[in-house]
Amino acid sequence: MSEPILVVRDLRACVNGKPILKGVDLTVYPGQVHAIMGPNGSGKSTLAQVLAGHEIYEVTGGEAIYCGKNLLEMKPEERAREGVFLAFQYPVEIPGLNNMEFLRAALNAIRKHRGLEEIDAFDFLNLVQERARRLGISEELLNRSLNVGFSGGEKKRNEILQLSILEPRLAILDETDSGLDIDALKAVAEGVNTMRSPERAFIVVTHYQRLLNYVVPDVVHIMYDGRIVQSGGKELAEELERRGYSWLEETVGSAR
């Protein structure tokens, strides 16, 4: 197999002095889709945010190596420019920041880092309109302030739009499927599937098996109390769906 895109070893992190991640191990190879499931508050979003570089989380131990580089030493924008993308569980609203202008600024920041010229305004417009159409995002939404007045589903689709324009190597999707109706879910899944490639990897955080019917994972992990307690194939997600998280609590609890 080729070199891993991401290697996380014994990663520990605190927020306000309270330990949240208590030793996470995870290795992701190019071309793979990893799903991370687990009960509320188990630390899934924390892991995603730590990988994206949010400074509110203090890393207290372990390491994260991205394409051979120490990810934890990089600023959030460096990670993004190097190809790490996080689709937020709760995308932030920024009144006054035009959605499309922002996306262009982001794309140009990344292109500049890759030694490419700024994208032509006309080409950009064509690109965004084509991708937006496929995701069922209206022109009007593109011209609004970032996420302001968007429904939950529109926010998630907008995250996937950014993903498809910014073309990262490692995409982390934090509950992008939550709160979506079936049409939105299919649009999002299709957006992800068209992005799947041998060079790119996905980490998909989800509560539900439902998304995994459309975006079929290579590996499924279960996170519990700040650790990955079980990993397996896509059957693991099905089992979890059938038996519920209480089953997990019993197994993990008794193993301690």
Partner 1 sequence: MKSSTTVQVPELVAKLGEGPDWLAERRQAAFERFRALGFPTTRDEAWRYTNVSPIARTHFRSAEPDWARAVSLLERAWVGESAVRLVLVDGRYVESLSRMPQQSGVRAMSLQRAIEQNPELVRAELARLAVFDNHAFTAWNTACFADGAVVIVEPGRVLDGAVHILHLSTGGSEPVVSHPRVLVLAGRQSQFAVVEEYLGPDGQVYLANAVTEIVCADGAVVEHYKLEREAQQAYHVAAIWARLGRDSQFTSHLVGLGSALSRHDVVVILAGPGSEAVLNGLYLVDGQRHADYQTLLHHVAPHCQSREDYKGILAGAGTGVFNGKIRVEPAAQKTDAIQHNKNLLLSREATINTKPQLEIYADDVRCTHGATVGQLEEEQLFYLQSRGMSAEEAKAALVVAFAGEVVERFRLAPLRAAVKGYIGEVARTL
CA nearest neighbour of 221 among 74, 14, 25: 25
Cα dihedral 196, 202, 151, 107 sign: negative
Strand ranges, E, within the chain: 6-15, 18-28, 33-37, 57-66, 69-70, 84-87, 94-98, 145-146, 170-174, 201-205, 219-224, 227-232
C-alpha to C-alpha distance for 181 and 186, rounded to whole angstroms: 9
Residues forming contacts to partner 1 in the complex (CB under 8 A) are: 52-56, 75-77, 79-81, 85-86, 88, 91-92, 94-98, 102, 105-106, 109-110, 113, 145, 162, 166
- Name the one range near Mg ion by CB under 5 A: 42-50, 56-64, 147-155, 194-202: 42-50
Q: How far is the CB of 80 from partner 1 (least distance, A)?
A: 4
Contact 193, 187 (CB under 8 A): no
Report the amino acid identity of residue 219: V
Instruction: Return the residue nearest Mg ion (CB atom).
Output: 45
Least distance (Å) from Mg ion to the CB of residue 89? 5
User: Residue 46 binds what, of ligand ATP, partner 1, Mg ion, none (CB under 5 to 8 Å, by partner type)?
Assistant: ligand ATP
Residue 40 interacting entry, from partner 1, Mg ion, ligand ATP, none, C-beta within 5 to 8 Å by type: ligand ATP
What's the rounded Cα separation, in Å, for the pair 152 and 173?
15
Q: How far is the CB of 13 from partner 1 (least distance, A)?
A: 15
For partner 1, the closer of residues 47 and 236 by Cβ is 47
Which residues of the chain form contacts with ligand ATP (CB under 6 A)? 15-16, 20, 38, 40-46, 56, 89
Does residue 158 interact with Mg ion by CB under 5 A? no
Smaller CB distance to Mg ion: residue 46 or 99? 46
Pick 75 or 243: Cβ nearer partner 1: 75
Write the CA distances from 95 to 58, 71, 105, 146, 162, integer angstroms: 29, 31, 16, 7, 18
The region of 4-12, 30-38, 44-52, 179-187 touching Mg ion under the rule CB under 5 A is: 44-52
53 in Cβ contact with 226 (< 8 Å): no
The single residue among 42, 45, 99, 209 that binds Mg ion, judged by CB under 5 A, is: 45
158 binds, among ligand ATP, Mg ion, partner 1, none (CB under 5 to 8 A by kind): none
Strands (E), 142-190: 145-146, 170-174
Positions in the binding site for Mg ion (CB under 5 A): 44-45, 89
